[in-house]
Amino acid sequence: MELNLKEGTVLTKETKVSENDTAIKMGSGDLEVYATPSMIALMENVAKSSVINELPQGYTTVGIEMDVKHVKSSPVGAKITCKATLTKVDRKKLFFDVEAQDDKGVIGTGSHIRYIVNSHDFMEKTKNS
């Protein structure tokens, strides 16, 4: 499998905190603030999206590790900007730095590892395990 992934690749995406993104709605807390699981899902999505167009047809990535600090709360309606930077490519293992910010600054930082898989083979293995 030939890969054309470049370390240093960066992707940024924006979203707005909705009622469905809150800790109380997600069940991860009791307050109407941006939930940590929502922030982590956004970080994973941006990392995945940053490399998907460089993978061969039939391949994707799966998240295998997340190490994140959620350092500041954000209210419903806040604009969240998330950035993922591909820092290392080790065969099929991809390493990312991830960061999320709202209008007032950094709200979360961390590292994320994804693994390149053949989608069909992965699903077959999942069904048979």
pLDDT in tens, 16-53: 999 999 999 999 999 999 999 999 999 999 999 999 99
| 110 close to 96: Cβ distance less than 8 angstroms | no
> The CATH number of the domain where 59 resides is what?
3.10.129.10
Q: For CA atoms 28, 34, 85, 126, give the dihedral sign.
A: positive
Task: Average the pLDDT over 78-104 and give the result.
Answer: 98
For 105, residues 6+ apart whose C-beta sits below 8 A from its C-beta are 72
In a domain, 2, yes or no: no
Q: Among residues of the chain, what percentage have pLDDT more than 90?
A: 95
Confidence of residue 4 (pLDDT cuts 50, 70, 90): confident
Q: Would you give the DSSP letter of residue 10?
A: E
Task: Average the pLDDT over 109-119 and give the result.
Answer: 98
Domain ranges, residue 31: 10-127
